[in-house]
Structure 1
Amino acid sequence: MGVTSPLKVSTRSRSFSTKFLPYVLYALFSIALFRFYFHPSPFLQSTTDQLPHSNRIILTSSSPPSPPSLSLSREEEIANKTSCNYTNGRWVHDKRGPLYNGTTCGTIKDGQNCISHGRPDLGYLYWRWQLNQCQLPRFDPNTFFNLLSNKHIAFVGDSMARNQLESLLCMLATASNPNLVYTNGEDNRFRTWHFDSHNVTVSVYWSPFLVRGVEKSKGGPDHNELYVDVVDERWGSDLDHLDMVVLSIGHWFLHPAVYYEGGSVLGCHYCPGLNHTEIGFYGVMRKAIKIALESIIERKKGSRNGIDAFLTSFSPSHFEGEWDKAGACPKTEPSKGEKMVEGMDADMRLIAVEEIEAANVKVKQFGGMRLEILDVTKLSLMRPDGHPGPYMYPFPFANGVEEHVQNDCVHWCLPGPIDTWNQIMLQVIRRWRRGE
């Protein structure tokens, strides 16, 4: 029986290895080089990904992944370094939703509390205004408190001023409790809250024309009366106690009115049966804004306590058909694509922009105050879904759909798109604090 000698096997193996080993090593080296070239190691890949984009070339047949969302602190850092045009943007879906809801603050006027009134579609809550060229950070109540610590901010104007005020109060209430310290007037049109945590005071003054006016009433004239050269002292007399004012007017100028200037009738708007000249309302609205801004400048110039002021631009309504139909503003999503501001909306916005620019020319002579337009017309125009509609009343269709249902397609649900107005206002205040 033959037994193979271990020595003989080892000798043949050594001869084989010596002869073919160089070829095996060459082949393995070639394979390794091929692998390294086309499939770099994970460590090297991660290192490459950290290089600046200018040093990299990426070839791909699919869309690159979206960049990660910025954290709030990073958003604020970018906003601090960038001068923004807040009118250029689009509404994008935001799964985070609003800071508050219809039950977390007790200041929402019933007619704008769409959630508690049973509005069934809540998709309108999940959108944010994304700017084209800069960041708009989420509203941070603590930042607002820190910037306005020991200050008094007042919202002055019509029901849109009140709508914006209540939006701000609800967002601030997520961080600190507002204490109602003063209320007066029909429908609590004059109110003041105090935030003890930062000694911040927030007030609202009902003044739908900014100048002196007599509103039409039952049993009285069926038109408003405006004295276009006299500021409304219901807010003007308190200017010495205010540090910031947010003015907002527009919709009340659409109503019939008789205008007075210098003690005599200037003209009227839609006053058939009266022997007055029809002059429309655009010129009168311009005069009212001019008088309001001039009063702020004259009464605060040279004061150790300067004042900052915003003028909120006109907010468009979205009625489709008659105001008393079930579907007067039926949209449930923002407008898609570019939306142009046109017609009356554009004219009323332009008046506000021009008057702020003219007032700023005067302000430069004195210093100590800052005036700025809060330009919300376009972003508001693109939100036809944000109004109470029939839900200005609780559960309007509880007994079925009725043909005649009063709709509110002017004011805004809270929470809702109007929260963005205060979001922008906060960023402007931050820019002021930086001295820009």
Structure 2
Amino acid sequence: MPIPPFSFHFTVLWLLLLQFSANYITVSSIVIARLRNRHPQNQRIHPNQSSNCALFVGSWVRHEDDSSYPIYDYSSCSVIDPRFNCQKYGRTDTDYLKYRWQPVNCQLPRFDGVEFVTRLRGKSVMFVGDSIGRDQWESLICLVLADLPPSSPKENIGGDPLSTFKLLEYGVTISYYKALYLVDIDINEQGKRVLKLDDIRGNAKAWNGVDVLCFNTGHWWTHTGNIQGWDYMELDGTQYKDMDRLVALERGLRTWAKWIDSNIDTPKTRVFFQGISPSHYYPNEWNSGTMSQPRNCYGETMPMTNSDTSYPEPYLDQVKVTDEVLDSMNRPPFLLDITAMSYMRKDAHPSVYSGELTPEQRSNLDPSVADCDHWCLPGLPDSWNQLFYTALFFSQ
């Protein structure tokens, strides 16, 4: 539904006024202007059955009631990977846990784990993508378990590429399927990894028939050197040593989009796509870096406060590609448009508090050691899942 001009200008004015409140961390009005015109289906949400809700335009508001958040404790949720378990591995500050996302024109319902499994009784949910999707998958399980009795029967089946968590009493399955690029990677006769930009049939077998799907991709398309996930790219039968990464992303996403349009029965299956998750490696992006500080997210304990900050061009490029592909689909998924709201959260990464690092590495301020890609649990992905929950159960 188009946004009336007067509504947009009122929203921007409202947000500018909020800048004078110390309790609010506000997304850039420039970014808001761009996002207000993206994917209007995201605004048809009615948590209170009163007015349209632009879920992804709003502010980070500090919780005054410290007892309400986080919803779960890291020690009570055994599914959290060591790389996301910041408090277990030495992070002592907790302010990053005390912010909730407030859309501009509605109140979000509190996540209710009992309602989640009751309404999805007998159904399956699957996150498909890279480790950012796994981050969100583990967050969702922790949120659900926080509202269920500890004795509630459950089963956790780890694996690669498929990991599955079952809530046996409700017949609900919550899974994660690792597919860094969504499209397939094959091994050729020389043992080389071939990224098949126009083939997704191998991966798609795993998620065909799932009731709720949430896809993500992004980070791995830009990796080079030793952390590059492929040796060759293949398109239309021709193999390439490399190509423009945005072109490759676009072709891979169109292959995925074509499969969704051709194979998903949207009245039966809900499909979501998670927007690009930003990283925070360069303090000059948020104007807080000095020569005495490490050049990464280490030591950051507060969200960005500069309302004029907009996220860097590489993310805008990936967002643009994603938008163009989603807009071209016959059956576009619901976009979990988390990029702008997450970019404000430079404080929410594991940094050096990761179980994958040695104690010596955790005390090292070398930028190559800190993880400024993933997110702590509990933490920011819990807000993503509150939005996922709202969109899943309260959308028209």
In which range does the TM-score fall when normalised by the shorter chain? 0.7 to 0.9
Structure 1 residue 262 corresponds to structure 2 residue 236: yes
312-321 or 376-385, larger mean C-alpha shift: 312-321
Q: Distance in 1 between matches of 2:217 and 2:320?
A: 13
Change in 2 beyond 3 A, CA 1:117/1:349: same
Give yes or no for contact 1:180–1:191 (8 Å, CA) kept in 2.
no
The 5 A counterparts of 1:2-151 are 79-94=48-63, 95=66, 96-151=68-123
Measure, in 1, the Cα distance between the counterparts of 2:47 and 2:377: 28
In structure 1, which of residues 311, 332, 343 is the aligned counterpart of residue 313 of structure 2? 343
Map Cα deviations across residues 55-79 of structure 1 (whole Å, 9 max, x no partner): xxxxxxxxxxxxxxxxxxxxx9853
Q: Distance in 1 between matches of 2:59 and 2:373?
A: 21
Give how far 1:225 is off: 3.2
Whether the aligned pair in 1 keeps the contact of 2:47 and 2:109 (CA below 8 Å) is no
| AA aligned opposite 1:306 | K
Kindly state the Cα deviation for residue 82 of structure 1 after the two structures are TM-superposed: 3.0
Amino acid paired to 2:171: N
What residue number does 2:382 align with? 419
Per the alignment, residue 24 of structure 2 pairs with none
**Alpha-carbon deviation of 1:284?**
1.4
Letter of the 2:317 counterpart: D
State the distance in 1 between where 2:173 and 2:93 align.
Answer: 35
Superimposed CA distance per residue, residues 345-392 of structure 1 (whole angstroms, 9 cap, x where no aligned partner): 112122222322221xx23xxxxxx72111000010000000000011
Q: 1:183 aligns with which of 158, 167, 183?
A: 158
Query: Relative CO higher for 1 or 2, CA cutoff 8 Å, sep ≥ 6?
Result: 2
Residues 331-353 of structure 1, C-alpha deviation per residue, up to 9 Å, x if partnerless? 10011142323401112122222
Letter in 2 for 1:92: V
Q: 2:139 aligns with which of 146, 164, 167?
A: 167
Call closer, same or farther: CA 1:178–1:297 in 2, change over 3 Å. farther
Q: Distance in 2 between matches of 1:155 and 1:395?
A: 26
Amino acid corresponding to residue 193 of structure 1 in structure 2: F
Matching of residue 430 in structure 1 with residue 393 in structure 2: yes
Letter in 2 for 1:347: D
Report the Cα offset of residue 226 of structure 1: 1.2
Alignment correspondent of 2:279: 317
Alpha-carbon separation, structure 2, partners of 1:149 and 1:82: 29
**1:387/1:411 contact within 8 Å kept:** yes
CA distance in 2, matches of 1:84, 1:159: 29
On the 8 A contact 1:239/1:296 being kept in 2, the answer is no
- Residue in structure 1 matched with residue 246 of structure 2 by the alignment: 282
Deviation at 1:286, TM superposition (A): 1.7
1:263-302 Cα deviation digits (max 9, x unpaired)? 212x454xxxxxxxxx31112112222222321231234x
Secondary structure of 1:194's counterpart equals strand
Q: Name the residue aligned to 1:152.
A: 124
Asked whether the equivalents of residues 361 and 369 of structure 2 are also in contact (C-alpha less than 8 Å), the reply is no
What's the CA shift string for 1:384-430, capped at 9, x where partnerless?
A: 00000001137966799445471110000000011111110111112
**Separation in 1, partners of 2:156, 2:361:** 40
Aligned to 2:195: 226
Distance 1:350 1:130 in 2: 25
Residue segments in structure 2 that go unaligned for 5+ positions in a row: 1-44, 225-229, 284-292
Secondary structure of residue in 2 paired with 1:413: coil
Q: Distance in 1 between matches of 2:74 and 2:362?
A: 24
Q: Which residue of 2 aligns with 1:409?
A: 372
- 1:8-55 deviations in Å (ceiling 9; x for gaps): xxxxxxxxxxxxxxxxxxxxxxxxxxxxxxxxxxxxxxxxxxxxxxxx
**Which stretch of the first structure deviates more once superposed, 337-346 or 414-423?**
337-346
Aligned pair count reads 329
Query: Residue 211 of structure 1: SS of its match in structure 2?
Result: coil
Distance 1:191 1:88 in 2: 33
Alpha carbons 1:155, 1:246 under 8 Å: kept: yes
Write the distance in 2 (CA, Å) between the matches of 1:297 and 1:378.
27
Higher Rg? 1
Secondary structure in 2 aligned to 1:161?
helix
Q: 1:232 to 1:388 in 2, by over 3 A?
A: farther
Aligned equivalents of 2:315, 2:129: Cα separation in 1: 18
State the alpha-carbon separation in 2 of the partners of residues 80 and 105 from structure 1: 33
The change in CA–CA distance for 1:77 and 1:232 in structure 2 (over 3 A counts) is closer
Structure 1 residues 247, 399: CA separation in 2 closer, same or farther (over 3 Å shift)?
closer
Instruction: After TM superposition, give the deviation of residue 97 of structure 1 in Å.
Output: 1.7
- SS of the equivalent of 1:229 reads coil
Asked if 1:243 corresponds to 2:211, the answer is yes
**Partners of 2:202 and 2:327 in 1: CA distance:** 24
CA distance in 1 between counterparts of 2:153 and 2:372 reads: 29
Matched, 1:328 2:290: no
CA contact (8 A) 1:208 1:252 kept: yes
Paired amino acid for 2:279: S
- RMSD of aligned Cα (Å): 2.9
403-412 vs 159-168, which moves further: 403-412
Identify the match of residue 298 of structure 1 among 262, 271, 276.
262
Residues 287 and 411 from structure 1, CA distance in 2 versus in 1: closer, same or farther, beyond 3 angstroms? same
**Corresponding residue number in structure 2 for 1:59:** none
